[in-house]
């Protein structure tokens, strides 16, 4: 049956899910429906909202920039918001990351990173064209992003389009040496251009967490073999793991880093890919065939760049880290009640990200329990999108203890109902 609306929604099976909820307003950690219901945004609207919906400073920056310059081609032209933002990003990231390439989404920032890595080796005269990735990873829905992500239901129809990638086992607790051995063997085989990882947390792969020491050892192995490390911080960046960027916890400087989602506080789309100076230099030439051939029509959109600058100002002017600490502490307090509950497994947390698995006969992303939980949360005025039987919470930093308490109460109620 064709939906009443002509809109085709993302990651939505219209044949089995209810009609989309019409949202008319957002403020802070809450959304408001067209008929006046309030919904707590427990997943930051797909991990993008950091300070809350419609943060006044960011909204004002968007309005002010729209009155000056809305859009301009970024090939051969530039503008002050992009120049300021690039300098600010270089200032708050490790000094080795010297150049900023703008794009529009997390997926495209990953695509840019992969192309940078391959271009670097080609223009350096080395035959390195193979990419390594962690098992279970998700890096977006463009062709490159799908290629380095886990193969399965997400991308099976598109398999003919995807390039081969060598997988490294996810560093499960107690099995970290398997990951290191596989990484050493792959790097030692030659021809490896880069390893791409989501630092410390696999997002859509199940909110699986691994310690900073593992990330540091993977970086050490890559360096020993001259392999580039690409850090996909699209989700983990901007405070989600308890530090501004997840790599900080491991003392790791990636060779290429991808940032998006919270870059503008979640207000408008923008992404950046930062890289080492020698990666830029490998493309710098009077030979025009060595140009970095990537763009989109809205590269470095001035309004989006202005929003990102305003977001950085929020980080400077407001107690953002204190809010992150409070959210993290609230998670930890509530999670304790689930650790000895036999209905739950693998209770875990890193920073403002909390997750736990509901013990069920049908597990995994496609499990029927997922849609049932989603509807149960929504009926209680909560936006939570479980990954199958995995329930995760990743709220805006303005969320209160009372807000989060409602989510944890609902988790307990729904697990009991389903059992």
pLDDT tens for 94-108 read 999 999 999 999 999
Q: 138 in a domain, yes or no?
A: yes
The predicted pLDDT at position 367 comes to 84
Residue 362 belongs to domain with CATH number: 3.90.1150.10
Indicate which CATH number applies to the domain containing 77: 3.40.640.10
289 and 365 both lie in a single domain? no
Query: Which of residues 291, 317, 343 is at a domain's end?
Result: 317
pLDDT at res. 1: 47
In a domain, 242, yes or no: yes
Considering the domain architecture, whether residues 229 and 104 belong to the same structural domain is answered as: yes
**Tell me: the pLDDT tens digits for 20-75?**
999 999 999 999 999 999 999 999 999 999 999 999 999 999 999 999 999 999 99
Any domain includes 349: yes
Same domain, 285 and 359: no
In a shared domain, residues 304 and 191: yes
Residue 26 lies in a domain: no
Q: Range of 249's domain?
A: 59-317
Q: How confident is the model at residue 362 (pLDDT cuts 50, 70, 90)?
A: confident
Strand partners, 231: 197, 257
What is the pLDDT, as a whole number, of residue 210?
Answer: 98
If you search the block for the tokens 């939906």, which residue do you land on? 3
Q: What is the pLDDT of residue 153?
A: 86
pLDDT band at residue 2 using 50, 70 and 90 as cut-offs: low
Examine the domain organization and report whether 325 and 313 are in the same domain: no
Q: Is residue 151 part of a domain?
A: yes
Give pLDDT tens digits for 374-385: 999 999 999 999
302, 317, 332 - which closes a domain: 317
Residue 3 lies in a domain: no
pLDDT digits 0-9 by tens, 290-299: 999 999 999 9
Confidence of residue 236 (pLDDT cuts 50, 70, 90): very high
- Both 165 and 222 in one domain: the answer is yes
| Whole-number pLDDT of residue 293 | 96
Whether residue 313 is found in the same domain as residue 325: no
Domain count, the chain: 2
- Does any domain span residue 46? no
Inform me whether the pLDDT recorded for 83 exceeds 90. Answer: yes
Position 3 scores a pLDDT of: 58
Mean pLDDT, the chain, whole residue set: 96
Mean pLDDT of 263-280: 98
For the chain, what percent of residues have pLDDT higher than 70?
99
User: Is 405 within a domain?
Assistant: yes
Same domain for 216 and 141:
yes
Please say which residue of 317, 342, 360 terminates a domain: 317
Residues 253 and 115 in one domain: yes
Output 152-161 pairs: Cβ under 8 A, ≥24 positions apart.
152/365, 153/365, 153/366
My answer on whether 252 and 267 are in the same domain is: yes
Cα gap 115→293, rounded to integer Å: 9
pLDDT the model gives residue 248:
98
Which residues lie closer than 8 Å to 310 by C-beta, 6 or more apart? 55, 57, 58, 60, 61, 62, 265
Q: Say yes or no: 335 and 313 in one domain.
A: no
What's the confidence (pLDDT) of residue 22?
96
313 and 332 share one domain: no
């Amino acid at each position: 049956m064709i939906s009443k609306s002509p809109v085709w929604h993302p990651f939505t099976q219209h044949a089995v899910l209810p009609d989309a909820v019409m949202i008319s307003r957002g403020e802070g950690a809450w959304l408001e429906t067209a008929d006046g219901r309030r919904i707590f945004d427990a997943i930051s609207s797909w991990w993008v909202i950091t300070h809350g919906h419609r943060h006044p400073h960011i909204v004002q920056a968007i309005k002010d920039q729209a009155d000056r310059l809305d859009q301009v081609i970024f090939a051969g032209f530039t503008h002050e918001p992009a120049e300021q933002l690039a300098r600010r990003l270089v200032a708050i990231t490790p000094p080795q990351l010297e150049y900023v390439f703008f794009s529009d989404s997390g997926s495209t920032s990953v695509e840019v990173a992969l192309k940078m890595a391959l271009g670097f080796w080609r223009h350096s005269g080395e035959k390195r064209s193979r990419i390594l990735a962690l098992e279970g990873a998700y890096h977006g829905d463009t062709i490159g992003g799908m290629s380095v992500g886990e193969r399965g239901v997400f991308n099976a129809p598109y398999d003919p389009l995807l390039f081969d990638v060598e997988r490294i086992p996810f560093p499960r607790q107690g099995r970290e040496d398997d990951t290191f051995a596989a990484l050493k063997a792959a790097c030692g085989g030659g021809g490896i251009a880069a390893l791409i990882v989501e630092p410390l947390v696999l997002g859509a792969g199940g909110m699986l967490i691994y310690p900073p020491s593992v990330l540091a050892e993977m970086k050490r192995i890559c360096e020993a073999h001259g392999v580039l490390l690409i850090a996909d911080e699209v989700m983990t960046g901007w405070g989600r793991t308890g530090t501004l960027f997840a790599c900080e916890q491991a003392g790791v400087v990636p060779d290429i880093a991808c940032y998006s989602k919270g870059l503008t506080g979640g207000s408008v789309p923008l992404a950046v890919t930062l890289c080492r100076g020698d990666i830029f230099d490998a493309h710098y030439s009077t030979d025009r065939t060595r140009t970095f051939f990537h763009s989109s029509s809205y590269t470095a959109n001035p309004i989006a760049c202005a929003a990102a600058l305003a977001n950085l100002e929020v980080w400077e002017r407001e107690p953002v880290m204190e809010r992150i600490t409070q959210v993290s502490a609230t998670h930890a307090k509530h999670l304790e009640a689930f650790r000895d509950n036999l209905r739950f497994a693998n209770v875990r947390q890193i920073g403002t990200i909390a997750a736990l698995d509901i013990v069920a006969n049908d597990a995994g992303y496609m499990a029927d329990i997922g849609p049932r939980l989603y509807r149960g949360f929504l009926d209680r005025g909560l936006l939570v999108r479980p990954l199958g039987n995995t329930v995760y919470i990743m709220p805006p930093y303005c969320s209160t203890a009372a807000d989060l308490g409602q989510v944890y109460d609902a988790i307990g109620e729904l697990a009991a109902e389903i059992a």
